[in-house]
Amino acid sequence: MLSLTAFIVAIGVLVVVHELGHYAMAVACGVKVLRFSVGFGPSLWTWTSPASGTQFTVAALPLGGYVKMLDERDGEVAADQLKYAFNEQSLWRRVAIVAAGPLANLGLAVVLYAALNWIGVEQPQAILSRPVEGSVFATAGFEGGERLTRMAFEDDDLQDVGSFDEVRWWLTRAALEQRDLLVEYVPPQGRAVRLTRVQIAGLEVDGNSPQLFQKIGILGPLTLPRIGEVMADGAAERAGLRAGDLVLRIDARPVVDASQLRVLIRAFTAAQAADHQIWEVRRNGQLQTLKVTPKLESEQGQRVGRIGAYIGAPPEMVLVRHGPIEGLIRAVGQTWEMSVLTVKMTVKMVLGEASLKNLSGPITIADYAGKSAAIGLTQYVSFLALISISLGILNLLPLPILDGGHLMYYLWEALTGKPVSDPWMERLQRVGLVVLLLLMSVAVFNDVARLMG
């Protein structure tokens, strides 16, 4: 229920903002707006403005909306009303009206990001978990527990890193842009700052996926290998482990974070079943040495070890907040960078360099909406900003039937001095509709595949 509610609210906000962009620019350009509709299908609520005569409608299907303007292509227009018709406006006014919708979505993202920057957001500190063995970061010499202070693309100036979210953003951009990273960090047990080059250029990637970060080697921020709730009569309880114990070593091997601890427990094999692991833990400031024998259980045809206890403490958090000017500048930068990344990813899919599996449909979006809303308001607002950018960029694509397709028509008109003919426009609209339906089908198929997987 939460996912559905969060999804409807998100789509409603984004559609209203998008159509308000078209509406406000049309009014500013002196075009008469006949109808402003949020949603399609049967009308649920209608109100007509006595001043302008515009009919405002909320329809049953909230998956879009439209602004209907006075236009000779839709029917006969009285002579005294021609100056208010959309098709009678100058080329640049028509361009402004069409572009205003997507730009409104990008503007909304700037506002949302700025609000988050001003209010402040609790984010995990930029402390690395133990890298995946054989990964890029493991090869670069990282062992986990390093606190990252600054990052940059090679040959660029280093920039401060305030949280793990910023680290993840740097890694995503580096992978998609095929550029190496300079990483400045403080080792876990040291104070001297170090600088190293992480070779990401040349890494085969397919979008912003778990496989990408598996190859890079950084799956999340550091979470301490602390024991949580201990189950009754489990291996942990029998070994004497208690909630709050911090695991330092297993069989003399240092344990850096919770994910590494889970791997070591799961790796306890049948050959070791008659033996045990030697755990060194810190409890209330005192060192304890315990013999732990994980219980072997079947999981997807494999035997893995379990101890019957929750593992891992929440990551250390930091409040990331910026002043009015800096927060706004950062918001513009965030929106721009995410827009560029979205365009690059779209181009990669068109060229076949990235899989169409990266397309997401309404089911996945609804799922993410619900998950972000469940985490908190700041995460939901961040989700809204991201989806608003995606909607703005999608509508700017040069695909007939979208705003970008109409802008493509106007570009032709600017170059040739004459508009696209009605027969050609009708053909292109049909092609655009088919392409859009195919993309939607792929997106929905991906949604179902993710659910089934």
Active-site residue list: 19
Phi, psi torsion values for 227, nearest 5 degrees = -80, 130
CA torsion angle 170 367 112 156 (round to 10): 10
Q: Say which residue the tokens 């040959």 belong to.
A: 155
Cβ atoms of residues 407 and 398 within 8 Å: yes
Q: Say which residue the tokens 């640049």 belong to.
A: 92
Phi-psi region of 30 (alpha: psi -120 to 50; beta: other; left: phi over 0): left
Single-letter amino acid, residue 244: G
Among 1, 8, 2, smallest CA distance to 387 is for: 8
The residues with which 121 forms a beta bridge, in sequence order, are 320
Quick one: how far is CA 161 from the chain centroid?
19
Which two structure tokens, joined as six digits, stand for 83? 């100056």
Find all residues with CB under 8 Å of 377, minimum gap 6, and list them.
Answer: none
Cα dist from 366 to 9, 60, 152, 384, whole Å: 10, 18, 34, 12
Single-letter amino acid, residue 102: P
What DSSP character marks residue 128? B
Burial class of residue 14 in the structure, from the number of CB atoms within 10 Å of its CB (0-12 exposed, 13-18 middle, 19+ buried): buried
- Rg of the chain over all Cα atoms, to the nearest angstrom: 28
Cβ atoms of residues 328 and 255 within 8 Å: no
Buried b (16+ CB within 10 A) or exposed e, 128-152: bbbbbeebbbbebebebbbbbbbbb
Find all residues with CB under 8 Å of 191, minimum gap 6, and list them.
Answer: none
Cα dist from 439 to 74, 115, 322, whole Å: 28, 33, 39
